[in-house]
Structure formats: C-alpha cells, structure tokens
Structure 1
Amino acid sequence: MKKILLITSGQPSLNPRLVKEADALAEAGYTVTVIYQYWNAWGTALDRELLASKKWQAIRVNGDPVEQKFSYWLSKVIHKAAKKIAKLIGINAITSIFALSRGTYRLIKKAKSIQADLYIAHNLAALPAAVKAASKYKAKCGFDAEDLHRYEAKTNNADFNFRLIKYVEEAYFPKADYLTTSSPLINERYQSIFPKLSFSTILNVFPVQEIDIARQNKDYNTLKLFWFSQHIGLSRGLQDVIYVLKLLENEKVELHLLGSLSIQVKTELDQIISAVNFSKAPQIFFYEPIAPDDLFSFASQFHIGLATEPSFSINNDLALSNKLFSYLQAGLALVVSDTSAQESFIREHPKTGFSYKKGDPQHLAQVLKSYIDDDTLLKNQQLEASNSAKFNLNWNIEQKKFLAIVEQTLQ
C-alpha cells in the first residue's frame, strides 16, 4: 500500500482543497498523512471536529500561541529575522526557506522524518518540504498551485515578497513531478512563465450535495444575498454591495455575510454604512465561521451567491474561488464581478447567473433588480446552478483527474 504525505503551512479546515485530496486518496486505498501548522483559533476548533471523522492521519508542527507557546513564538521570531537578513544579504537557497514562512523549516524537518512514495505540497510555503523529502527518499513529489503565487499581491517586481516567491517558484517548480492549478487562466499564465513545464487544472469544486432546491420553500418576497470567506474584509468588493443596498433601498433586499469579522473591519463597515446615509438601517447579517461540510446547507437558505472580486491583483483576476463553486452546490444563482476568470465562467455557463462591471454599483443594482422583478428568472438560474453542480462541476468528477495524475506519477 503506497504512502502519500500532504503538506500545508495552513490548517485542514482552512484548506478544503487539501482535505478533498486527502479524502480522495484515502478512499482510493492510499495511506495518507497530512502535516500542517496552526493558523488561527477558530480554525483549530473546526479542525478538531473535522479530523475526528477522517480516514487519514494529521500531524501539527510549529506550536500554537496557547499550548505550545515557545515553539510558536520562536518560529515567528526566526521568520521575522530571516526576512530582514534576506533583504540585507539576498535571497538564496537558505534564506528563502526561513523567510518564506514561519513554518517552512519545521515542515521540511518533519516531512523528511516520514518516508512516503509521494509528497504533495499545498501552498508555496510547503513546497520546499515536499521537494526535499522526496529527494531524501528518492520518491515523487507534486505541487498544487491554488493561486498564481507571485502575483497574489499588487504587482511590483522590485518588492521583496515578489522576488522571494519568484525565487522559490523558479527553484522548486522544475523539481516537482507534477504541477496542478486551480483555474484555467492561472494554468495558462503559469504555462507561459514556465513553458518547459506541464500544468494541469483541477477546479475548486466540491462533492455533490444532497440539496433539492426544487423542494425548498424559500421566501421570494425578500431577495437574500450571500457572501462568505474565511475573513470578512474590504479588499473583496463588499463596498459595492453596501452602495447597492442604498440604491435598492425601496426594495426588500438582505445581505448575509459569513466569516471571521475583526473589530477593525466591523468599524470600517459601520463607517461606510454611515457615509452612505441610509434613510433606514440596511438589512445586513453577520455569521461566525462554520464547519466546511455545513456550508452548503447553510448557504442554501439564500437566493444569490455573490463573488465580488475587484481584480486587486493579477491572481485575483485569474482565480476561480471556492465560493463560486460552493454557491453552485448550494443551489444559488451566481452574481459575479467581471474578473477575467469569472467573466469566462459565466460565458461558459450563462444560465447559472450574471456578471456585472466590477466597481460599478449601478450595474450591480440593475442585475439584482432583474431578479426582484422576475422571480421565475431567479428560480430557473438556481435550478441551472444546482444541475451544473450535480452533473458537471463537482469533485466526484474532478477527483478522477486528480487520482489519474497521482497514479501516473507513481508508476
């Protein structure tokens, strides 16, 4: 029985793509272990529930700020110092490992202590660990590029973080036995950057959910908008939606937001709402993060899933987020900003929803008003979204591509 080690610098409950791969590998008969590290408190609470039901083993490294304080804070101090040193003496094979993340060195050490047939890295900070462990045991390794990493932030080729990520990609991508990406346009961009390498797209889809939207008794007198993320923030286009609530103030519209909400962001949202000068308080509801498996049934109570990405970076423009495919599984009609990736998706699946001009609340309001005026349109798009998720855009299909890549790599 072949052994596979998956490695992430995040946490399982915050990385559904890793969890789906681990589940698929375990179901296919592989012995699966996941190495991860602490990211935040609410993710840790969700991890306890998630990991209890899994057929694979999970090992956490690098401590945490509650029970393993010394290891946790030491890793942060080393990481901070390493970035300063790398800026002074340059980015190289050694400084890149310590400067890349607080946990890369310990991920390497732990991965090299576990012999496996295949090492799979999720997120860039885990890639050196997979490559070095595979080299030690003369095994195979793969990397899943969930994002276009060098362009996740605003592009500035002179920026230290850009140069660091570029160095790591160029140093380790050629050493991977396979490379996967999360969207067709990210795949194309990476292929243009590394023309001698081969990339395969594995979409951010989810297992088919047993949600029969045709039998749900939704109230269509009030249009219920839904948006979620790990963290509710103001870099993802939510300001446009606040302005839209003002434009549609005479209509029955609710906005439901799911995610971790900091005091600072809540204060900034309150300031935006105050500046918009509503004549009556807008209907905005906040929800704490929930277990990933509970997301779909929770989301299914709403009407429209919002993907309001503002193209703040090249990656943001080219990515297809988890939320878009989550909305489909929940049977929600899609309303998405016209990033390159999302606009392309709507062109390919026009009956699942609409796109709008990002940064244009007036256009977004027009799109939403079309649903208010025609609930039959909304119901038809919800049904199309649900059917697309059930028959085409789901992990039941996409995991076959992933498992085929793994099988071919291990031959």
Structure 2
Amino acid sequence: MKQAPAKITIVSQSHLCRNPRVLKEATALAAAGYNISIFTAVYSDELYREDLSLLAGTGISYEIYSDLRKRDWASFKARLSRKLWLIAQTWGIESRYILGYNAGNLKKRITASRADLYIMHQELATVTGGLMVDDYRVAFDLEDWYSEDLLPEARKNRPIKLLKQAEKTALEKGAACYTTSHAMANGLKAFYNSGRTSAVIYNSFNANNTTGEQQLQQDYLHLYWLSQTIGPGRGLEFFISCMAKSKVRCKLSLRGNIAEGYKNSLLAILAPKDSIEFLPMIKNSEIQADMGCYHIGLALEPDTPPNKDLTVSNKLFHYMAAGLPVIASYTRGQAEIAQQCPGLIFMYRQNHVDELVGILNELGAKIETGSLPALKTRMIEFYQANFSWPIQAEKLVNLIKNIFETAR
C-alpha cells in the first residue's frame, strides 16, 4: 500500500502576498510531494483574495488562525488582549500576546489536525514553536534576527527576553533551523554559543529573462528603489545628496508607500540636474517584470541593528533576478553576496560620500559608452546559475527530506 505523503504545516502571521518566502517554500515543498497547509493571520479582504489567487492550482490548504477583517466580538477581543499586554510590557511583563493577535489560540489551532512537521516563520510562530519542540517535530525559518531588530525606541514594545529564548530553542532543539545568509547563521551561532549552525536558504526569486532594455533611455542613469514603506532612516537622503555631487544626470524612481511630507523633503534636497519619480506599490507577481525597465537597483541598507547588518534584503535578490546591477551599502549580509559576483554589485561603505559618488560616475560612464546592457546580461546569467530560487528550493527540499529520513 502506497504511503500517504507527509503532512507539513507552515505557520506565519501575515498575508501570503506580503511574505513571498512562505509562498515559495510552500510551493516548493508541495511540488516535492508533501501535503502542505499554511496557517496565518489576515486583516484585509483585498489581500486575502490576492493570497488565494497565488495559491490557485497548487493544492495547498490555506487556513486562518486570526481574522481581523471583521469588526466582530472575536476581533475586538484579539485587539483588546494585545493592547492590554502592551501595557503590561511597559511594566516589564513579557508575553507572546504582544507579538500578534489571537496568540493564545495558535498552538491549539495548528495542532488540531496533527502534522508530521511544523515550520515556523516570523516572531509569534517562532515563540509558539519553542513551546512545542518537546512534543512535536518543529523546524524554524529564522527570516530575521527577531530579538536584534528595530531601533531602541521600537524595541521597548518587544518581548526581547522571550524572543531570545525562542531563538536559542530554535537553534538547539529544532528539527531544522535555517536562515537567510551565512553571516546571519554565524552571528546567531556565536551569540547563543550554539554547537549548531543554521542552514542557509537565500531568499531569492526566479530569474526574469526579459530585461525591458528596449524601453530604457540612455541619456541619464535610471536608479530604482523598492520598499513597501518609504521614510526617514533608510539612506535616501544620503543617496540623493551624493547624486547631486556626481557628474551624471540621475533619475531616481521610488516605488512604495510614502507620506506627502516626506516626499516634499526629498524634493527639497534634489539637485536641478536630477529628478525623482514616485511610484505606487504593485503586486508581487508584477515586480520582476517592472524592474527590468530600470538601469540600476538600490539596496541602501543600514548596518544597525544587527539584523540589518547580517540579513540579505529581499530587494537585493529582486534586483538581481531582474538583471539589474546593484548599488549596495556595506552590510555583512550584502557583502556576502557581492563577494560572490564581482563587478555586478557596486558596494560603498556606510556614509562614505566619495565612494558612492565614484560609483555613480562609473555607472554614468557605462551609460555613455553603451556598456550597461552587457552588464545587465552578465547579471541575469550569473544570478540564474548561482542564486535563482530553483537552486534554493532544491536545498530546502533536501533539508526537509533529511528531517524525515533522520527520524526513521
């Protein structure tokens, strides 16, 4: 009699269309023959419909453990509970209830139909998984270093001790633990003095073979920056000031949600030779093709806190997958990728004006000589051979396969 496929439950706390790593993981494991369910929290009808469209035809089950779309008694209780625990946090009382809605029901909900393996994503699921490891087979995808993220003011509302304990448990007791870069894996190992190093699954994407080069103008350097939220502290002010000091005419396209006041502050420091274009967010499924219409991607990440220094941002791999050479600030995570593809990622040290201005001038010269298209072709070919999602998906499938083989 043929054995039924192993059942894997993936637990997150955000809409699938806002967390592409969960979607990629789920579809890769479903394609490998596993029975996949995703449990998550939702708050928007529009985003929920987008979630379902992404899962169409995959056979993946999509379950909700916290639903804030309706203003009913259940959602009121969930919101009130979190607010009360946030107040308790100001008195030094930590709780997983701070990390998300309906936290107390999460473990019961996901274990009602027992899975052969649970894979935990994001803060609340990681903490919940830490409570389950003695009774269930639990793996952890540490997408970020949760206890070492955000600036000091924001960390006041975070249960840092609880997150640290959950991360340590994930490293030491998880059926598997994996993360987004070798820099992150080594940082976690050193911090927790663990004898175990997390596996690395880069958060990459499928390569886009259509670069959109025919749509590009060649009389200016067209720079592109993507983020769901555009605001202060992201390196844009510094970058625009360096654009002004460069010899090349620059057009900066910013895609994401931005407040009108901040938009005006950026325009106020713009040099007459340069321009800025503000673009709305688009669906994840449209991002790759759109990126092919620009010259250079921007990954202007800060090197603090430690999570920002050690991770590799989604946008870096998005740019590479679309064939965009990248201007990147120095972080240990981004340097890890840049060292593997010399001449394709142009890296400057944090706040070093001369280095960034020099990079802009160098790329401007490539526009004048017509050599940028060849650089974009090199990027897409190198990325496809070394970083694209099918390569990472194979590593993930082998990692999960090893969990089940070891358990026999």
Normalised by the length of structure 1, the TM-score is: 0.88
Partner in structure 1 of residue 342 of structure 2 = 350
Counterpart in the other structure of 1:401: 395
Q: Which residue of 1 aligns with 2:196?
A: 197
Q: 2:362 aligns with which of 365, 370, 385?
A: 370
Letter in 1 for 2:66: N
Identify unmatched segments of 5+ residues in structure 1. Answer: none
Query: Residues 296 and 324 of structure 2 are in contact (CA less than 8 Å); yes or no, is this contact kept in structure 1?
Result: yes
CA deviation profile, 1:269-314 (whole Å, cap 9, x unmatched): 312432x26447x522222222212111110010100000122311
| Residue 81 of structure 1: aligned partner | 84
Q: Given that residues 121 and 130 in structure 1 are in contact (C-alpha distance below 8 angstroms), is that contact kept between their aligned partners in structure 2? A: yes
CA distance 1:277–1:220, change in 2 (3 Å): closer
What is the distance in 2 between the residues matched to 1:69 and 1:164?
A: 30
1:287 to 257, 279, 287: 279
1:286 & 1:272 partners in 2: Cα distance? Answer: 11
Counterpart-to-counterpart distance in 2, 1:334 and 1:172: 33
Question: Which residue of the partner structure matches residue 273 of structure 1?
Answer: 267
**1:387 aligns to 2:381 (yes or no):** yes
For 1:409 and 1:353, how far apart are their aligned partners in 2? 36
How much does 1:373 deviate?
A: 1.6
Question: How far 1:49 sits from its partner (Å)?
Answer: 3.2
Shift in alpha-carbon separation, 1:360–1:44, aligned structure 2, 3 A: farther
Q: Pairwise mapping of residues 223-234 of structure 1 onto structure 2 (< 5 A)? A: 223-234=221-232
Alignment partner of 1:148 out of 145, 149, 160:
145
2:12 to 8, 13, 32: 8
Summarize deviations over 1:211-270 as a string: whole Å, max 9, x none: 256x7453222211111122222222111222234334x743211111223x3xx31231
Secondary structure in 1 matching 2:67? coil
The letter of the residue matching 2:249 is K
Q: Contact 2:133 / 2:174 at 8 angstroms: preserved in 1? A: no
Equivalent residue of 1:351, what SS?
Answer: coil
> Cα offset for 1:83?
3.2
Aligned twin of 1:35: 39
CA shift digits 1:36-55 (9 cap, x unpaired):
11256764453243233543
Q: Is 1:57 the counterpart of 2:61 in the alignment?
A: yes
Shifted more, 353-362 versus 329-338: the winner is: 353-362
Moved more, 68-77 or 10-19: 68-77
- Structure-2 separation of matches of 1:398 and 1:333: 21
How many Å apart are 1:325 and its aligned residue?
A: 0.8
Aligned-pair CA distance for 1:389:
1.6
Alignment of structure 1 residues 111-150 onto 2, 5 Å: 111-132=110-131, 138-150=135-147
Rounded to whole Å, the distance in 2 between the matches of 1:41 and 1:308 is 33
- 2:307 is matched with which residue: 306, 315, 318? 315
What code does the residue aligned with 1:222 have? Y
Q: CA deviation at 1:328?
A: 0.8
* 3-state SS, counterpart of residue 350 of structure 2: coil
* Equivalenced residues, count: 396
1:297 matched to 2:296? The reply is no
Q: Please state whether the residue corresponding to 1:260 is helix, strand or coil.
A: strand
Judged with a 3 Å threshold, the aligned counterparts in structure 2 of structure 1 residues 348 and 173 are, in CA distance, closer, same or farther, namely: closer
In 2, Cα distance between equivalents of 1:313 and 1:123: 17
| Distance verdict in 2 for CA 1:10–1:277, change over 3 Å | closer
* 1:164 lines up with 2:162 in the alignment: yes
- Report the CA distance shift for 1:287/1:89 in structure 2 as closer, same or farther (over 3 A): closer
Q: Does structure 1 retain, via aligned residues, the 8 Å contact 2:234–2:301?
A: yes
**Percent identity of the aligned residues?**
24
Query: 1:67 aligns to what?
Result: 70
Counterpart residue type for residue 80 of structure 1 = K
Instruction: Return the offset for 1:377.
Output: 4.5
Q: Distance in 2 between matches of 1:314 and 1:350?
A: 25
Deviations 1:345-399 (A, max 9, x none): 2222112131112224443222112111223443333122111221111111111
Q: Which amino acid is 1:260 matched to? A: N
Aligned partner of residue 312 in structure 1, secondary structure: coil
Q: Distance in 2 between matches of 1:172 and 1:410?
A: 18
The residue type equivalent to 1:169 in the other structure is E
C-alpha displacement of 1:134: 6.4
Following the alignment from structure 2 to structure 1, what is the Cα–Cα distance between the partners of residues 130 and 23? 20
Call closer, same or farther: CA 1:115–1:241 in 2, change over 3 Å.
same
Q: What stretches of structure 2 of length at least 5 have no aligned partner? A: none
How many angstroms does 1:332 deviate by?
Answer: 0.5
Using the TM superposition, give the Cα deviation of residue 78 of structure 1 relative to its aligned residue in structure 2, in angstroms. Answer: 0.8
